[in-house]
Amino acid sequence: MKTWKGYIGWFISIFFLVVVFRGVDWARFRESLSAVSWWQPIALAAIYLVGYQVRALRSLSLLPGLSFLQALGGVFIGYAANNVLPARLGEVVRAHVIGKSIGIKRTVAFSSVVVERIFDGAAIVTLLLIGAGELSLPDWAHEARSAGLMLFSIALAAVLLVGWTNSLWDRHLPDTKISGHIRGLLEGVALAVRSPKILFQVLASSILIWTIEAYMFYLAAGAFDITLSFKGSLFVMSIVNLGVLIPSSPGGLGLFQFFCVKSLEFLGADHAQATAYSVLIHLCQYVPVTVIGLLWLPRFGVTLKTRDFANGDKSSLP
């Protein structure tokens, strides 16, 4: 039986949704959505999905032995699971299906996913610095930029340090089950920094992934007659993705809308237009990825039941 703790994320999401939709001019909101042509959401979703091809290529760099389809399926399944499961369990699901499909330790696969998230954060902060370079930021945006810069700078430095000193750590670990898990995690980190070429590929692909998403934000503005430069889209995209790091319901519901609207209003957008924009762009991200990921699950022989990825095959364990 679930306790109240299991609903905290939903309480947070509902709170932010109330903040966003309170006082919305509903006539203006409906007018903004009705002005969107039928093909525009399809185009926005298609652009967003291009980024998933790049994510799969990045996964190939991090985990030798993957095929492109295995990498792409793992990416879609992980993000789909994050959209329907609490506590970002999609990262665990992805580690399980990848580990099972190519016969590696789940800890190695999970470590590679964590490394991806760190590089993602570093890329987002970099694009935020570019997008906000000429803006006189309000306190909340300045604090988000500073916190993100500090957090992901430390995390990226830790990845480099741990990856480059992996052999040293390995020699001093005792031969125990827990040490086996730690070795798997260290191995996944070491794979990401095993050569300057791989490191560059991971960095470059991470920047490209989030630039593509920013382009989606940029084109979506045109559907609502919102004036938004490409630098502005970098700013909005970055603030939204840093904002949804706050624990909430699956898919970042509420937080996505709040930070999207807040950043667009800062750039001069009307509240009703910005709210309609946030709803459309979130749907264009959430729906296709979730549907594709859930449809891909049976090909890996698992479901999203907890026991399927909590226990797993012994071949995928350390």
Dump pLDDT digits (tens) for 114-142.
Answer: 999 999 999 999 999 999 988 888 898 98
- What is the domain count for the chain? 1
**Amino acid sitting at position 62:** L
- Tell whether 236 is covered by a domain: yes
Angstrom distance (rounded) from CA 280 to CA 278: 6
Decide: residue 79, CB within 10 A, 0-12 exposed, 13-18 middle, 19+ buried.
Answer: buried
Task: Output the tens digit of pLDDT for each of the chain's 318 residues.
Answer: 455 666 899 999 999 999 999 989 999 999 999 999 999 999 999 999 999 999 999 999 999 889 999 999 999 999 999 999 988 899 999 999 998 888 888 899 999 999 999 999 999 999 999 999 888 888 989 899 999 999 999 999 999 998 888 777 777 677 777 777 788 888 888 888 889 899 999 999 999 999 999 999 999 999 999 999 999 999 999 999 999 999 999 999 999 999 999 999 999 999 999 999 999 999 999 999 999 999 998 888 777 664 454 444 433 333
Q: Domain for residue 233, yes or no?
A: yes
Q: Is residue 23 part of a domain?
A: no
Domain that residue 165 falls in: 36-316
Of 80, 88, 55, 59, give the one whose Cα is nearest residue 212. 55
Question: Helix (H) and strand (E) counts for the chain?
Answer: 14, 0
Give CA separation, 35 vs 31, 144, 223, 230, 277, in Å.
Answer: 6, 33, 7, 22, 11
- 8 lies in some domain: no
C-beta of residue 148 within 8 angstroms of C-beta of residue 128:
yes
User: 160 and 266 in contact (C-beta within 8 Å)?
Assistant: no
Secondary structure (DSSP) of 204-230: HHHHHHHHHHHHHHHHHHHHTT----H
Residue at 274 is within a domain: yes
Has residue 26 been placed in a domain?
no
Q: 18 lies in a domain?
A: no
Inside any domain, residue 25: no
- From CA 316, how far away is CA 313, in angstroms rounded? 6
CB 68 within 8 A of CB 56: yes
What digits encode the pLDDT tens for the residues 201-244?
999 999 999 999 999 999 999 999 999 999 999 999 999 999 99
